[in-house]
Amino acid sequence: MSSDSVPAMAATPSPNSDAPSMTTPSTTTKQATALHFIENPEHVPADANIPDNYVSYTLKHQKSLPPVTWENFVDELNWLHVAILGLTPIIGFVGAILTPFRWQTALWSVLYYYMTGLGITAGYHRLWAHRSYNASRPLQYFLALSGAGAVEGSIRWWARGHRAHHRYTDTDLDPYNAHKGLWWSHIGWMILKPRRKPGVADVSDLSKNDIVKWQHRHYLKLVFIMGIFFPTLVAGFGWGDWMGGYVYSGVLRLVFVHHSTFCVNSLAHWLGETPFDDKHTPRDHMITALVTIGEGYHNFHHQFPMDYRNAIKWYQYDPTKWFIWVCQQIGLASHLKTFPENEVRKGQLTMQLKRLRETQELLSWPSDNSHLPVISWESYQAQAKTRPLICVGGFIHDVANFLDEHPGGRHLLTKNIGKDATTAFFGGVYDHSNAAHNLLAMKRVGVLHGGSPHGLEDKMIPPSQRLRVARYNEMGASGYSSAALSDGEGLLG
Ligand SMILES: [Zn+2]
Ligand SMILES: [Zn+2]
């Protein structure tokens, strides 16, 4: 099958609705790469030809800078980032001491915090890094400008690092590898020179986006305009608070946006629960969501990164999701992606079962048939003369330490010693509770030869063991038999 005979695939919706169609089949055939399923065979993505063992190979063979120590610390600093991240809090806090805080400026600072924060969360992150929805040109310009006001690098640079973060999570190819500690993932990775190049990640879609290119080209100008001048001008022309606009809406707001969004890399990989998967560090926590404009449901996000939501429950705090949804309602956004509910719930169930299994393994369980001696009826009766043995449901139980504990009184037990008390136990005298049955099973010391008559299995299995969490290789008939995997129809070849 040659590439020019392949019908155009249903293309992943492009983040820019006006992007040139990526589905046009080309007559050019490229050799060596399997390009049949790539939308535009003219273009080879950055990661098209990487080896299958890319991660281990790169970690082993690629040069990395030496570990940072107290001796080399100063030489390893990235001074530009140190200046941006170090001077802004100093200017901001000193400025705040000297400048009165007017309510109009306070309101504007909070509003501009959300605007520039959304530039990162709804723009840089969910739109450009993850393509979780399509945005119209006006919305893209708004996000590119407000994102520049957050001063976190250009869209292209940011999204490239973030795609590497998702692909190589918790490895040294992840620029903000959470295994290197909270400090590193929050800010250390920026104020120190990167120890190695982030793992390869394709951003060719962004290289084709004219708004992303425009922002990258004019980035330095945009940073000053959107980071400082614009918030200052609004407060200055709006209500005459030039200094307050500069200090609070410009500088201090920037400090808050920085640390708020940095928390997605640090706090969101450190604090909270893992309701969808626990293979990697990302976690869900409401506090992280509150400080990151809704990016705190990070365990969900790493499992379903193309989903435009981070929070899936209506009551969870995810203003970024609400913003994207409102944009869709007013026609500025479209093609909001959501992961199939069925698969999301599978992830949750897997984690719930895993936790139940842990609880199950912490408890003590009765011995089963294969671990108990088989005793004949005669032997049972003989042994019952020297110790208090009672037969229920085909098992022999030693009730020596229970005679005085029995709620119905000692006499009901002693009169059944050496006898079959199955009927009495299951309702003949008293229909025992599930807890009583579970406790009885713990007193098993043998199995009666011949066991219990057929049909009494239900009475032999204590209630606590009728539903169990079992691994696939512990189940008798697994769904993964060789027959189920055979490719009789030739679908795979
Ligand atoms: Zn993450
Ligand atoms: Zn992400």
Report the share of the chain in percent with pLDDT over 70: 86
CA of 124 to the centre of ligand 2 (A): 10
pLDDT band at 430 (very low <50, low <70, confident <90, very high): confident
Quick one: pLDDT at residue 57?
A: 78
CA of 128 to the centre of ligand 2 (A): 10
pTM of the model: 0.81
CA of 207 to the centre of ligand 1 (A): 23
Of 45-54, 132-141, 409-418, 423-432, which range is least confident? 45-54
Give residue-wise pLDDT tens across range 452-484. 666 666 778 899 998 999 998 887 654 455 444
Spatial distance between the Cα atoms of 190 and 213, rounded to a whole number of angstroms: 23
For residues 174 and 165, the answer to whether their CB atoms sit within 8 Å is yes
Phi/psi of residue 444, nearest 5 degrees: -65, 135
CA of 123 to the centre of ligand 2 (A): 11
Which residues partner with 395 through β-bridges?
392, 447
Mean pLDDT score, 205-233: 97
**Ligand that lies nearest to the alpha carbon of residue 308, given by its number in the listed order:** 2
CA of 396 to the centre of ligand 2 (A): 59
CA of 306 to the centre of ligand 2 (A): 8
Phi/psi of residue 374, nearest 5 degrees: -90, 125
For 122, the token pair is 């709804």
Give residue-wise pLDDT tens across range 16-48. 443 334 334 444 444 445 555 555 666 778 887
Q: How many helices (H) and strands (E) does the chain have?
A: 23, 6
Of 450, 322, 460, the C-alpha closest to 380 is 450
Give residue-wise pLDDT tens across range 360-414. 999 999 987 788 999 999 999 999 999 999 999 889 999 999 999 999 899 999 9
Give residue-wise pLDDT tens across range 111-125. 999 999 999 999 999
For residues 143 and 151, the answer to whether their CB atoms sit within 8 Å is no
**Ligand that lies nearest to the alpha carbon of residue 304, given by its number in the listed order:** 2
Quick one: pLDDT at residue 51?
A: 80
Give the Cα-Cα-Cα angle 385, 386, 390 (nearest 5 degrees).
65
Residues counted in the chain: 493
For residues 170 and 51, the answer to whether their CB atoms sit within 8 Å is no
CA of 50 to the centre of ligand 2 (A): 22
**Ligand that lies nearest to the alpha carbon of residue 131, given by its number in the listed order:** 2
**Ligand that lies nearest to the alpha carbon of residue 299, given by its number in the listed order:** 1
- Asked if the model's pLDDT at residue 134 lies above 80, the reply is yes
CA of 163 to the centre of ligand 2 (A): 7
Quick one: pLDDT at residue 18?
A: 39
CA of 441 to the centre of ligand 2 (A): 50
CA of 120 to the centre of ligand 1 (A): 14
CA of 114 to the centre of ligand 2 (A): 19
**Ligand that lies nearest to the alpha carbon of residue 298, given by its number in the listed order:** 1
For 212, the token pair is 């992303």
Quick one: pLDDT at residue 194?
A: 86
Which residues partner with 470 through β-bridges?
none
Give residue-wise pLDDT tens across range 138-151. 999 999 999 999 99
Quick one: pLDDT at residue 10?
A: 39
State the SS3 of 47-95.
Answer: CCCCCCCHHHHHHHHCCCCCCCCCCCCCCCECHHHHHHHHHHHHHHHHH
